[in-house]
Amino acid sequence: MASITLEKVSVSFPIYNAATRSIKNRLIQSATGGQIRADRGSNRIAVVQALQDIDLRLQSGDRVGLVGHNGAGKTTLLRVLAGIYEPNEGRVSIDGSIVPLFDISLGMDQESTGYENILLRGLYLGLTRAQIRARFDEIAEFTELGDFLNLPIRTYSSGMQMRLAFAVSTSVAPDILLIDEGIGAGDAAFIEKANARLKQFTERVSIIVLSSHSEALIKSMCQKAVLMQHGRLIGAGATQEVLDQYRALRAGNVG
Amino acid sequence: MDIIAGWRRRELWTTLALHDVRQRYRRSTLGPFWITISMGVMVFALGLLYGQIFGQDLTEYLPFLAAGFVIWGLISTVILGGCQSFIAAEGLIRQLNAPVSIYAYRELWSALIAFAHNIWIFLAVAWWYDVPMNWSLLWVVPALLILLVNGFWISLMFGLLSARFRDVPLIIGSLVQVLFFMTPVIWRPEMLPERALFLQLNPFYHMIEILRAPMLGQTPSLENWLVVLSIALVGWGITLFFYSAYRWRIAYWV
């Protein structure tokens, strides 16, 4: 049984650049982004409060959409869930294997062949060489790239690279899948194929957390949603309710 | 712990390191063998020049220089690469939920790949000048191991420091350059009129000596080994303390 529990989780980033001087000892609240404040006890380092007091409990079967304006903390929250950022305060406990799908073309080596990149991406996902070899044919077939797999991927179009990355990333189902933004994938025919595979793939995953600006995508994939603003969690519940709340919030900001 | 979890992902970091090395020489005909060639040119040019200047017999001096250079190459690559271990992996660290120690392993492995290319220069020189082969050659194995053990803490510690303080790699860079001339690589320890104190205090002298002596058919001295062992112990003590305290901050710093 996969599960995710966050208790009073806060994350703040130290900013070590020169620009910090102008904002020292000042508290700035801007419309986008988290909160910028001077660090307590230090007048030199500015701190961006990216997440504040997040409580979240997810269980097997949950499909959760993350919504909020740019810089509301969605990506940071996903990184906390992935175990990349350990929070400054609060407790995180996660059961189950996690695969973060943030940047789908992460770490691809342009000079290496398609096959070598399948291997590389598989290793990123935590597979062993033997496991990847066993999946080679299936992945190669899905990409429909044929002989191109023997060429360095710098010769590929971006759609072709996307196919490759997508095929490897969806070849193993983890317990928990974290997705940042939508996965766009190539031409229309492939999108259909990709959607079918994504559906099959996500059915085997216990928990999905999806961050996206596309209401349609969130509605189609998630039965729950979470609304974030300035690093705080300001709404959670059924997808439609939260999306309505988000819309009202945006209307309020404009008017 | 992070370091053990990193070891389990060795298929990943060996592959990454291999890609790093290939990346540097991509689309060149000779590829990574340029490492071998540039080392070869360096050893021969400096060997002839300094052999003249110091009035050395090339039969002894050239193998000495080749061994020293190859080892120095390994040590300096580990140190300079170690500074970059986390900074260079910035993108991966922020996207991938893998133990961060894999990036230190990766730097170590690519330094070792370069070393494997360089060692041929020494072997060629040693074969040409009939460097004696005897049982002390066996010391090469533990010496290389202890150098790697030291290299690993250096990668973790310097990588951590460099991620937080971006001046560190620059400072270390110029220090390493200076230390090259302070360390007996192109000159022999015996050339110093009296065994100067600064030679004994130079950790690199001991690190080079434990590997160079057996390569040249001599038994390494106990003193050299003791120094290198204590560097490993102290270094790992400090590193484990800092690494376990600050490892989680690395993702924030890069």
Residue A22 has pLDDT above 60, yes or no: no
Q: What is the pLDDT of residues A122-166, one digit of tens each?
A: 888 888 888 888 888 888 888 888 888 888 888 888 778 888 888
CB contact under 8 A, B9 and A126: yes
Domain A101-205 class? alpha beta
CB contact under 8 A, B91 and A106: yes
CB contact under 8 A, B251 and A128: no
Q: What is the pLDDT of residue B28?
A: 82
The rounded distance, in Å, linking the Cα atoms of A169 and A178 is 12
Domain A3-96+213-254 class? alpha beta
Q: What is the pLDDT of residues B101-130, one digit of tens each?
A: 999 999 999 999 999 999 999 999 989 988
Nearest CA distance, A107 vs chain B (angstrom): 7
Return phi, psi of residue A248, to 5°.
-60, -40
pLDDT mean over A226-250: 87
Q: Nearest CB to A106: which of B19, B26, B95? A: B95
B104 and B156 Cβ atoms separated by less than 8 Å? yes
Kindly indicate the confidence band of residue B176, based on its pLDDT and cuts at 50, 70 and 90: very high
Tell me the DSSP string of B149-216. Answer: HHHHHHHHHHHHHHHH-TTHHHHHHHHHHHHHHHSTTSS-GGGSSS--HHHHT-HHHHHHHHHHHHHT
Residue ranges of domains in chain A: 3-96+213-254, 101-205
Q: What six digits make up the tokens of B49?
A: 């020049």
Q: Spell out which residues of chain A touch residue B95, defining contact as CB-CB under 8 Å.
A: 84, 100, 102-103, 106-107
Q: What is the pLDDT of residue A23?
A: 44
Return phi, psi of residue B76, to 5°.
-70, -35
In chain B, how many domains are there? 1
| Residues 71 through 100 of chain B touching chain A, CB cutoff 8 Å | 91-98
The residue of A123, A178, A180, A209 whose CB has the most chain B CBs within 10 angstroms, and thus the best one to mutate to test that interface, is: A123
Residue A26 has pLDDT above 50, yes or no: no
The residue of A12, A81, A124, A133 whose CB has the most chain B CBs within 10 angstroms, and thus the best one to mutate to test that interface, is: A124
Range of the domain at B81: 2-253
Strands of A98-101's sheet in order across: A98-101, A176-180, A207-211, A63-67, A224-229, A232-238
A183 and A152 Cβ atoms separated by less than 8 Å? no
CB contact under 8 A, B97 and A98: yes
Return phi, psi of residue A113, to 5°.
-75, 170
Q: What is the pLDDT of residues B212-227, one digit of tens each?
A: 999 988 888 888 999 9
Q: What letter does residue A34 receive in the DSSP assignment?
A: S
Sign of CA dihedral A226, A232, A235, A236: positive
Q: Nearest CB to B11: which of A13, A111, A123? A: A123
* B236: three-class secondary structure by DSSP: helix
Nearest CA distance, A208 vs chain B (angstrom): 16
Residue of A nearest to B253 (CA): A14
For the purposes of burial, counting CB atoms within 10 Å of the CB of A93, is it exposed (0-12), middle (13-18) or buried (19 or more)? exposed
Kindly indicate the confidence band of residue B29, based on its pLDDT and cuts at 50, 70 and 90: confident
